[in-house]
Each structure stands twice: as C-alpha cells, then as structure tokens.
Chains A and B, each alone.
Chain A
Amino acid sequence: MEINFLIQSLESLLIKYSNNKSQIEENLHELISGLEQKNLDSEIEGFADFILLASSLFEMKAKRLLPQDEEIDWIDEVQIMKDKDLAFARLLQFKAFSEIGIALASRIKKNERFLNSFKYYQTGNLFPKPDIEYSIDNNKFFETSVEVFRRYKTIQGFQHIDKDLPDLQKAIDTFLYEVDSRINTSFEELIDKLNSTEEAVAFFLALLEAVRWGFIKAEQESNSINIKKQ
C-alpha cells in the first residue's frame, strides 16, 4: 500500500474547499481516478481503511449541502468539528502505527544479525497455548482410561481393536515363499488366495518391507504391480 498517496489524498480532502455538488463530484472523481491507478486487488485490506475514512469525509461534506437553517446550530457545528478532529486523529494514529510497525521490524532485523547462544526457552513460546487447560492426576487418568475402554466397544469403527494384529515377519516369510514358488508374479496373484482384508494389508506391508530390504523388485505398470525376485 502506498501510504503517502493515501495520506496526501485524505489531507487534500480535509483541506479542499467544496461547497456545492459539482465541487464534491470533482473531488470524488479525482480520488477515484487516483485509486484506479493503484493495485486494489492485492492491497484491499489496507485500502479498506482508507476508503472508510474517505467516505466519512465525503459524508461530512455532503451534509453541508443540506438546507441550512439561517440560525447556525452550534451544537451541530461543534459535532462536525469533533468529527473532523476524530477523523484526522484516526488518520494520524493509522499512519503512526503503520510506521511504528515498520520501525519495529527494522529494529528486529538489525538485532537478528547477532545470535545468542541457543537456549530451549527461546522456542518454548513459539506454539500458542491452548484455550483450555485440564490438569490430570493418576486417579483421573485411570478413571478416564476405564471410561474410554468401556465406551469404545459401543462405537462403530473400533471393532477391529480386539482382533490380533497380523505378524509382519510371518507375513514377509509367507510372502517371500509365495514369490519364490512363482519367481515372477504380480501382487494381484499373491493376494488372490487371501481370506481377509487384514491379511491383504499384512501382505502389502510385507511387499514394502521386502522391497526395502532388497529381496524383491516391484514395479507398478498401469493397475498391476509386477514383482521380480532380486
């Protein structure tokens, strides 16, 4: 965002005299043509602040065009002056914080040239703390675990927990025996005789392990995996 352009535009809006519709339209066209030359898509967040301020100023100017009573309502006048003051104060505040942010970044960058000796705590607060913290002791942990084990059986998707895990070493041995008996084969052929998805998973893991250890070579062509003994 080109901060100087925005500041200058707002300053000129505050200062420029406009007491009729055509002058306000002229101010508006001038502003819009200035904005059209900027890249609004990438800086929309920054420009949103600016447009809010600019529209507030135009609103104040437009209010001045409404029929005025002959007697000046000083309360309104004072309110308008306060609005102007507030808008200008916001503008200054916006500019100040933007520039301070850049100044802080510059100072941090300068200090990062030096490295302190590594200390654990420097990374300790890089992770946001959770919104909820729950302390737990041995008894609470025991109660919670009992509750979890009592409830999981009633939840769909946990039935496999009670089943014995397939023995991977046994699966590798069986797998290699099958490969030996056929020399060159395909994964589809090997799993053809299996009875359950668990066995298929164990076989697949065995295939990966056997490839990793260099016992066999597996190549995937289109939909099938061809296996060759090394």
Chain B
Amino acid sequence: MNYKKIITSILLVSDGPVEHSYFCDNFEISKEELFVYFSEINNNLIESDFGFKIKYNDKNSDFSTIDDVTKELIDFKPPSILRGLSTPALETLSIVAYEQPVTKLKVSEIRGVESESSLKTLESRGLIEKSGVLDVPGSPHQYSTTQLFLEKLDINSISELPVLGDYFSNVHEEE
C-alpha cells in the first residue's frame, strides 16, 4: 500500500487537522512509522521546491505553507485574529486561558474592572466560547478557550500553556 499517497490525499480533503490515531487505526501503521512517512513526504516536497509541507505534532497533522513564501502570501492571508484587540482584551484572554472554565464575574474580579465587552469581543473572534453554566444562583455562563485558540498558539491542549505557578491561582481563595 502506498501510504504517502493515502496520507497526502486524506490531509488534502480532511476538515481540519487529522489525528494520528486515524492513520494508525485505519491503516495499521505505528505512530513512529507515520512520522517517518511525514518526514519522507516533507523531504520530497522540499526537494521539489513546493511551497507547503505537512505540519505535525504529537497529536495531529495538517498541510501548511512554508516559511519562505510568507511575504508572497500577504494578499491571501486572512485578517489577523488579533486585529484591533486591545491590551485589556489580551489580558482577559490570558485570564480565561489560565483560569478556565471561568465566569465573567471572576474575570472582572481579577482585572478589577467590568469585563463583559472584552469577553464578547474575544467570543466574536472565536478565541473563547461559553462552555457551560456554574451551578450557583443565577447560573452564570462559564467561558473557556476554543480549539481555534489552541491552533493559533500551535498547542494541543491548555495543559501545554506555560506554567504560571500555584501562587497566582490561589490569590482569590485566600480572600
């Protein structure tokens, strides 16, 4: 079986990055073998001067453009997801990322100011989403980061965010 053909065609038509388990389970190849195929395909693409490669990590893989053509792609790039985001919005994003799932009230407490508009902006950008409600009177919404946020940071899960230390998370419990 020509795994290179299969891998590249699946990555071409897939609706998002493909998890390694899909290839391993359906085509009975190990993760190590899969990485060898990825590497071989990327070498072939580089040798043939193609402008894209397979970008892969421990969890999934997808086609991505290469660094050399970044300038030439400027007309094709979608607007940056950060366009127009203010410093308070970035501050709110970091709080949601590290404290999730978190309510609007808790975000506002940490920042010391009302944070509804920042949360709405981040939600409209697809960086955070309502992930549930807290089981307290009023049932406030809880916010978490989205898959898009993880992809933009090129990480697989929030556990891969840099560790802040327990100190910051415990400030409000001490109150």
Contact = CB atoms under 8 A, between A and B. Distances in A.
Interface of A: 1, 45-46, 48-49, 52-53, 86, 89-90, 92-94, 96-98, 100-102, 104-105, 107-109, 111-117, 119-122, 125-129, 131
A115 B73 contact: yes
B1 interface: no
A52 B108 CA distance: 14
Contacts of A98: 87, 90-91, 94
Counting from the closest, the 6 A-B pairs by CB-CB distance are A101-B90, A100-B94, A101-B94, A126-B126, A49-B112, A117-B63
Contacts of A46: 87-88
Given A86-B171, A125-B147, A120 B152 contact: no
A114 B16 contact: no
A125 B15 contact: no
Q: Which interface residue of A48, A94, A96, A131 has the most chain B CB atoms within 10 A?
A: A96
Main secondary structure of the interface of A (DSSP, over half): helix
21 contacts: A46-B87, A86-B174, A89-B167, A93-B110, A93-B168, A97-B94, A97-B95, A97-B111, A101-B93, A102-B87, A104-B97, A108-B153, A109-B80, A111-B153, A116-B55, A117-B12, A117-B52, A117-B63, A127-B124, A128-B129, A128-B130
A111 B98 contact: no
Contacts of B130: 128-129, 131
B14 interface: yes
B64 A100 contact: no
Contacts of B146: 125
Nearest to B168: A93
A29 B174 CA distance: 33
A107 B112 contact: no
Contacts of A121: 15-16
Q: Which interface residue of A45, A53, A86 has the most chain B CB atoms within 10 A?
A: A45
Contact of A128 (B12, B14, B123, B171): B123
Interface string B80-121: 111001011111111101100000000000111100000010
Interface string B162-175: 00100110010011
A119 B175 contact: no
A119 B90 contact: no
Q: Which interface residue of A114, A116, A131 has the most chain B CB atoms within 10 A?
A: A114
